Structure 1
Amino acid sequence: MFTTDKLSFFTLFVQYLRVATTCFVLVAVTDVYAQQKTPSRVDQLSDEQVAEFYRRAQSSGLNEFQIEQAAMSQGYTLDDIAKMRKRINTIRSQGSRPTSQTGITGNTQSGTTTGRTLPGDLSQRYDSLDTNRQRDTTKRLKVFGASLFENASLSFEPNLRIATPRNYVVGPDDEISIDIAGAASDNFQLKVSPEGTVKVPNITPIYVAGLSIEQAEQRIIARLRKAGYQGLGVPGSGTTANVALTNIRSIRVTIVGEVVRPGTYTISSLGSAFNALYLAGGPNPETGSFRKINVIRGNRVVRTIDLYDFILRADQRDNVRLQDQDVIRVADYDTHVTMTGEVRRPAIFEVLPGETLKTVLGFAGGFSDEAYRASITLRRNTSRERRITTISEEEIGQFVPKPGDRYIVGRILNRYENRVQIAGAVMRPGDYALEPGLETVKQLIRRADGLQKDAFMNRAIIIRERPDMDVESISFDLGKLMRGEENDVPLLRQDSITILSIRDLRERYYVTIEGAINKPDTIDFINNMGIGDLIAQAGGFQEGAKPNLIEVARRIRSDSAGIRTTNLEKYQFAIDPNLRIVPGSPAYGFKLEPFDIVYVRTSANYEAQRQVNVYGEIMQPGNYAIVTRRERISDLIRRAGGLRPEAYLSGAQYIRKGEIIGNDLQTILNDSTAESNLLLKGGDTLYIPRRSETVDIQGAVLNPSVTSYKSSYDFNDYISEAGGITDNARGGKAYVIYPNGRKDRTHHFLFFRSRPRVEPGSTVIVPFKPLDQNRLSPAERIGILSLLTTVSIALANLLLR
């Protein structure tokens, strides 16, 4: 990326305007004070007048020396000139704070500096903040170090708040501040002119370009001492001078070779080589070298930069400060090698002559925790094909990499060279090291803090790995081994011992409790558990429980000769509702055994409240409890105060479990002994509507609809109201659903058909004919007809013969 040179035509024009500003300001001050004839010239000017003078001075073409001579010829002193420039600086800082390109700053200013600033024409890296930049989403390895210059927050810009480096070389456009204190007091802010000089009032120009800031300080102080500042900078004289670099200039450096964006860049004079490389995007990862970057000054290489020193060790010795017209050249890489696998930083590394595989391994951060360190696999390119080489651990320090090498570090095997395992009924199961003092089964059990009390002593098992990686089982009598009646069993690597528990050799023991109990459940069996213990664990009795009738069903566990007639043993007990068991009662000493089932019965007279609901055209609608098991629908109507005059009995619906039960309420009220007078059940609902004035016609009719009820209409009249039946209607199967849930169908006798009666609120349904899946299509009919015709012609020919 190329930038505009600071010494362009526009910049030179701005510098001329700076000189013109000072000239016109001084001339304007002269005119004003000549008219006012007051001794205080600068202090009585307003900010508006100073700004107007500045604008008028921009058209002047006088140089700095001519301005000073004109001011002094009008009787102005150096103090007057310094005050005016201070006023201009103040106005500039209170406004938009223009940079040195505005042209206000002259070659000589007095006043106190407010801080060091960067030039305004520095090159910028155009993609440093481009967050939408396309990124490489592939999983291929990256060149080590390439990410250093992809980080937008790491620009290597110089710090302006540090002290001025003593070896800093002064050049044109630098600004130097001189503070004199002690017996004499003064302040000068001097800007280095394009000719390399600074101008102190009443002193000939001082040449400082090309000098270090320390040398420039000595030269300026020496000239000030000759100009009247006696003893300046001399110890014991009482007058001191402090020379500092305030505003710095810009320099141009050229970056060539294998970089991402070669070109000429404008950077700060405090800028370093890393700063310039960052602006250029760094070395090209595909072709550039990160370890052979030359800084060329005056056609001579002054520094060779190895970025690995900075990346790996934070060594900034190569981050040298650049000078104007420096050239940075990034060479091509010589040797790239790839290291993958179990290393901390898998990547593509650049190798210099004299470096070994051990050096590359250091670049990669060394082996990971799971790395197989005994050898490294190498895939190397030959002149015609590839070759695999195994590099031992001893050869890593002397092995010399070659271009294109690919090193692969494997992972260690998931196996142990000295592990034995023990599991099961021991105090501390787990993995143990096969070592002196732990070489047999008995020693391993002792190391595991011994056996648990439930250990099964008759048998233990060793799972052993054979030389062919197959496994085998070795069993032994654990009890005899522990008593010394059998020889101890030696252990081998990868042996796994399992000590069984007696609980591992039986099914799970449990007991079950059911019935009128708060938390019926199946729980683990506990020795010495009584009936009261189990009931308490199950939450106690429910409200309707019968504590004096508790049954226990027990398995028959012992075998006997012959066939038993019973499958289990049954016990009955009576206990106190508060779970107190009286000593001497059958339940007092009774203990449960595994798989027992305990039943807690419910009292015969206990029953939870059940209720039915009645609503609609009835005197007292609402919920009613079922008092007796013999209560029926007629009793419910009577308890509800009877029917309202508007009640429509033919439409009454009796609902049970969400379904309408077809019933005739009029018959029930006329005869309470009728079979349709059902017994009430909990959750039943009786709905008694008003008389409905409509009839619904549905099914295979031309216009399914709802029509008003007419007492003079019969079934066929309502069908006609719906436009008649369709072609696919089964008219002989039409039926009526009455509002009380009952149904009536069409009846047939010989050639006579009897239609059902239609009542208010009824639904008339004409069913559709079923689809004929076996009906022949027209094409199939034509084919069959053609076949029959052909067969008929053939038969006729045979008969005519």
Structure 2
Amino acid sequence: MYFSLLRKSIFSGILFLSFALVHNESYAQNIDPNSISNEQALEFYKRAKASGLTDMAIEQAALEKGYTLDQISAMRNRLQQAQTSAPTGPDRSGTDESRRQIADSMLVKAKPVSALPNSDSVKQVFGASFFSSSSISFEPNLRIATPKNYILGPDDELVVDIYGNSVDNFRLKISPEGTVKMLNLAPVQVNGLTIEQASERIVNRLRSAYSALNRPGGGTYSTITLGNVRSIQVMITGEVTRPGSYTISSLATAFNALNQSGGPNNNGSYRSIEIIRNNKTIRTIDLYGFLVDANLKDNITMQDQDIILVRPYSKRIELFGEVKHPALFEVKDGETLKDMIRYAGGYTPTAYSASIQFRRNTGKELMVGSVQETEVANFIPQNGDVFKIGKILNRIENRVVIEGGVFRDGEYPIDEQTNTVKKLITKSEGLREDAFLNRAIIERKTATLRPEIISFDLGKLMNGEIEDIVLKREDHIYIKTIDELKENYDLTILGSVINPGTINYHDGITVADAIFKAGGYTEGGIPYRIEVSRRIKGDTANIPQSQNVRIFSLEVSENLTLNEEDQKFKLSPFDVIYVRKSPRYEPQKAVTILGEIMYPGTYTILNNFERITDLLPKAGGLKAEAYISGARFYRNKELVAVDLKAIIQKPSLSANLLLQTGDTLLIPTKSETVRIKGGVQNPSIVNFDPHFSFREYISQAGGFAEYAWKSRIYVSYPNGRTFRTKKFLFFKSYPKIESGSVLTVPVKDPQKERQISPSERIAIISLVTTISLALISLFR
């Protein structure tokens, strides 16, 4: 049977009562607890306190209104949390502030320092973050079977189920006198009994009503379980974060109570926490047993009126540096430095454990000391000691390194097999075939740690011609390979090969070999005109002063067969090979003709002298509906203005362009419209009428707009050609309108127009008058 869950209301009966005291009682009875914010609840409580009520009076009033002790306990805890989180609440210390942050682990590392810290530095106490973590809760689990050793008391609830031949159910609440009453039977005393003992008494009393209850063959049975549990009060005092009286579940343990009080404060002991019952200390809790070894032997169940006393710590030391959990640690009598290092999680992999430095307060001044590795297990720390675990040096005491032209280079320890150069080379499985034997070097540090170089003839050393060299710690032997001491050699092959570019140089490579590595000739490549360009290195005989390269002309077999002539000419590093293409070899060129033509499509350009007019006979000539004046010619997808009608009539015109691959000629049908756009009242498309004048087309579009630029009007014809308005004195010559044309009237920028001054108007009028009179006299 599981316990029913305690109500986890986030507000307390104290808060409800406080609200009732501040507001009218009838309204308070209808309050939904979940509708009140945490800040509102705290404000109601403060008002109740301001009215003169004590906490005890508030609790008593809450009980009279029907609230249970469980509800009041949960509500008080919530109120304490609200007071703790309020910004006006007291601040314990920098450590307490860090406790309000969610800890990743049980410990928070101290800030690393390079020297022993001052005595007044504030460090993290081991275990403090455990009580500050919001994700850790010691709330008792109420959904468990009734513990056999659970002692009943007032306000506990027993659930009696009768089944079989008779069916009944009772929920019995233990009275303050310690009794329960069923039906019309006499009360049963159960206070101080276990569930099993109480069950036996209750069954005996129920047999007055059910004579065969729980008897063999009786047919009527009962089970008695614990329902809601009572609340108890415990006092937590001493060096704790929030001392006081706490109402907790009767199933709560010592750790539950400590967690609610926030745990020990800065001066509180984690290793001397006493549980006092009936004025006797029944258990002394050492939290390190739980924090380090997960030992729950001290987590005993609390009883009503128990007292938890957290005493001040008596001895505390600090461990920092290369331990896994640097912190302040509390030391009990008889514990050694080795125990403290174990509490700190042990050394890190890079800890220097041969000697540990410490600083101690002698009462007059500070002193420093050290603890050797053999003394750690017996060294007794004193209060205030600060221990620094250093880091090992970044150096290796017995290493030599060989690098380069050996089969297994790397690090080796100095021993009888590797204490000389020759022995070390043998240990690394010998020299590679391409090792450079004329010179090798050893990088070594002198006694003053200054670097020096020792050079030696590797070939003579290996042959025993010179004495072997004794190695020292941290010697670094460099043996180069032949290829490492020269520039990377390559060749370049360009032109009509399948994969032109750079290829690796090899001794004895020929031109045919290079062409083979480049994938062979392309379809247009010719083998009889190959050039090799070579850098001039040392031989400059018969070469002009201004010449920097040599040029060789060669002929190579077309099918790359081996022959003596080819083998005679060897390539040198950095040669550039050029393979030429046949002068008349080129890919096919094609042009496209579309539209009103007999056989539209793509046609091959036969030679380099074909022109636009040569396309028409190939395509079978024009159709009857072809509009030659509107033919459009495109090159690289751009319109080229060409008058096809004019070049057909006279092919010698320069507009009869030579054809190029990708050219397109489009011959449309005749368009019967004219588009008018720009500075007109109604830009539109109108029908073409050969009898219309230019101004009549403008009238079709509603006439000129206000800022029409009449002197800049132009007409674009279907073939891409464009003509603009011409002007002579006061006379304008407008371009001819053809079918399919686009008439564009530019628009002036009104902001750029300049107003004519009165003097300029007079000058213009005088000029016009003079010209008019001259014309009149001329034509008389």
Using the size of structure 2 for normalisation, the TM-score is 0.64
One-letter code aligned to 2:590 = Q
Change (3 A) 1:2 1:757: closer
- Structure 2 contact 337–380 (Cα < 8 Å) conserved: yes
Equivalent residue number for residue 632 of structure 1: 611
- 655, 661, 681: which one pairs with 1:676? 655
- Where 1:455 maps in the other structure, the secondary structure is coil
Residues 1:246 and 2:262 are matched in the alignment: no
For residues 99-248 of structure 1, the aligned pairs below 5 Å read 123=74, 136=101, 141=110, 142-149=124-131, 150=133, 152=135, 154-155=137-138, 157=140, 164-165=147-148, 168-172=150-154, 194-196=176-178, 209-210=191-192, 246-247=225-226
Residues 1:432 and 2:412 are matched in the alignment: yes
Equivalent residue number for residue 612 of structure 1: 591
Alpha-carbon distance between aligned partners in 2 of 1:469 and 1:510, rounded to the nearest angstrom: 43
Residue deviations 1:502-558 (CA, integer Å, cap 9, x gap): 10112212233333433333222345656666555444544x244644736263677
- Where 1:501 maps in the other structure, the secondary structure is coil
- Where 1:458 maps in the other structure, the secondary structure is coil
Alpha-carbon distance between aligned partners in 1 of 2:347 and 2:397, rounded to the nearest angstrom: 21
For residues 721-732 of structure 1, the aligned pairs below 5 Å read 721=704, 723=706
Equivalent residue number for residue 276 of structure 1: 257
Name stretches of at least 5 consecutive residues in structure 2 with no aligned partner. Answer: 1-9, 18-65, 86-98, 111-123, 162-168, 753-780
Alpha-carbon distance between aligned partners in 2 of 1:390 and 1:143, rounded to the nearest angstrom: 23
Equivalent residue number for residue 74 of structure 1: none
Change (3 A) 1:295 1:3: farther
Change (3 A) 1:753 1:427: farther
Equivalent residue number for residue 115 of structure 2: none
Alpha-carbon distance between aligned partners in 1 of 2:194 and 2:694, rounded to the nearest angstrom: 124
- Structure 1 contact 291–308 (Cα < 8 Å) conserved: yes
Residues 1:569 and 2:552 are matched in the alignment: yes
Alpha-carbon distance between aligned partners in 2 of 1:412 and 1:3, rounded to the nearest angstrom: 57
Change (3 A) 1:148 1:246: farther
- 379, 384, 395: which one pairs with 1:398? 379
- 273, 276, 279: which one pairs with 1:296? 276
- Structure 1 contact 551–571 (Cα < 8 Å) conserved: yes
- Structure 2 contact 234–248 (Cα < 8 Å) conserved: no
Change (3 A) 1:343 1:513: same
Q: How far 1:457 moved relative to its partner?
A: 0.7
Residue deviations 1:380-420 (CA, integer Å, cap 9, x gap): 89999x979564545766363545x7655443333222222
Equivalent residue number for residue 481 of structure 1: 461
For residues 278-677 of structure 1, the aligned pairs below 5 Å read 278=259, 280=260, 282-283=262-263, 286=266, 288-333=268-313, 339-352=319-332, 355=335, 357-374=337-354, 389=368, 391-393=370-372, 398=379, 400=381, 402-403=383-384, 408-527=388-507, 534-535=514-515, 537-542=517-522, 544-546=523-525, 548-549=527-528, 551=530, 553=532, 555=534, 559-560=538-539, 562-564=541-543, 567-576=550-559, 581=561, 584=563, 586-587=565-566, 594-644=573-623, 647=626, 649-677=628-656
Alpha-carbon distance between aligned partners in 2 of 1:243 and 1:341, rounded to the nearest angstrom: 64
Alpha-carbon distance between aligned partners in 1 of 2:435 and 2:733, rounded to the nearest angstrom: 86
Which stretch of structure 1 is more off in the superposition, 141-150 or 624-633? 141-150
Q: How far 1:335 moved relative to its partner?
A: 5.9
Alpha-carbon distance between aligned partners in 2 of 1:745 and 1:337, rounded to the nearest angstrom: 100
Which stretch of structure 1 is more off in the superposition, 424-433 or 561-570? 561-570
Alpha-carbon distance between aligned partners in 2 of 1:205 and 1:137, rounded to the nearest angstrom: 51
Q: How far 1:277 moved relative to its partner?
A: 2.6
Alpha-carbon distance between aligned partners in 2 of 1:549 and 1:178, rounded to the nearest angstrom: 114
- 664, 671, 674: which one pairs with 1:685? 664
Change (3 A) 1:368 1:723: same
Change (3 A) 1:665 1:469: farther
- Structure 1 contact 615–687 (Cα < 8 Å) conserved: yes
Alpha-carbon distance between aligned partners in 1 of 2:362 and 2:743, rounded to the nearest angstrom: 95
Alpha-carbon distance between aligned partners in 2 of 1:498 and 1:679, rounded to the nearest angstrom: 69
Change (3 A) 1:458 1:737: farther
Change (3 A) 1:469 1:613: farther
Q: How far 1:4 moved relative to its partner?
A: 7.2
Q: How far 1:247 moved relative to its partner?
A: 1.6
Alpha-carbon distance between aligned partners in 1 of 2:315 and 2:624, rounded to the nearest angstrom: 109
One-letter code aligned to 2:226 = N
Q: How far 1:174 moved relative to its partner?
A: 6.1
Residue deviations 1:636-691 (CA, integer Å, cap 9, x gap): 23333444556554554433234443433222211223222122111222344555
Alpha-carbon distance between aligned partners in 2 of 1:589 and 1:128, rounded to the nearest angstrom: 101
Residue deviations 1:186-221 (CA, integer Å, cap 9, x gap): x99998664446789999977664466798899999
Equivalent residue number for residue 49 of structure 2: none
Q: CA RMSD in A?
A: 5.6
Q: How far 1:284 moved relative to its partner?
A: 5.1
Alpha-carbon distance between aligned partners in 2 of 1:681 and 1:4, rounded to the nearest angstrom: 97
- Where 2:255 maps in the other structure, the secondary structure is helix
Q: How far 1:454 moved relative to its partner?
A: 0.6
Q: How far 1:311 moved relative to its partner?
A: 1.1
Q: How far 1:254 moved relative to its partner?
A: 1.8
Q: How far 1:574 moved relative to its partner?
A: 1.9
Equivalent residue number for residue 72 of structure 1: none
Equivalent residue number for residue 713 of structure 1: 694
Alpha-carbon distance between aligned partners in 1 of 2:274 and 2:667, rounded to the nearest angstrom: 105
One-letter code aligned to 1:398 = F
Alpha-carbon distance between aligned partners in 1 of 2:126 and 2:577, rounded to the nearest angstrom: 76
One-letter code aligned to 2:587 = A
- Structure 1 contact 283–289 (Cα < 8 Å) conserved: no
Number of corresponding residues? 626
- Where 1:634 maps in the other structure, the secondary structure is helix
Alpha-carbon distance between aligned partners in 2 of 1:128 and 1:634, rounded to the nearest angstrom: 102
Change (3 A) 1:440 1:214: same
Name stretches of at least 5 consecutive residues in structure 1 with no aligned partner. Answer: 9-102, 104-117, 180-186, 773-801
Q: How far 1:283 moved relative to its partner?
A: 0.5
Residue deviations 1:744-793 (CA, integer Å, cap 9, x gap): 688899x8999784655367687999x99xxxxxxxxxxxxxxxxxxxxx
Change (3 A) 1:361 1:534: same
- Structure 1 contact 143–285 (Cα < 8 Å) conserved: no
- Where 2:647 maps in the other structure, the secondary structure is helix
Which stretch of structure 1 is more off in the superposition, 386-395 or 199-208? 199-208
- Where 1:276 maps in the other structure, the secondary structure is helix
Change (3 A) 1:722 1:270: closer
Q: How far 1:490 moved relative to its partner?
A: 2.7
Alpha-carbon distance between aligned partners in 2 of 1:610 and 1:553, rounded to the nearest angstrom: 32
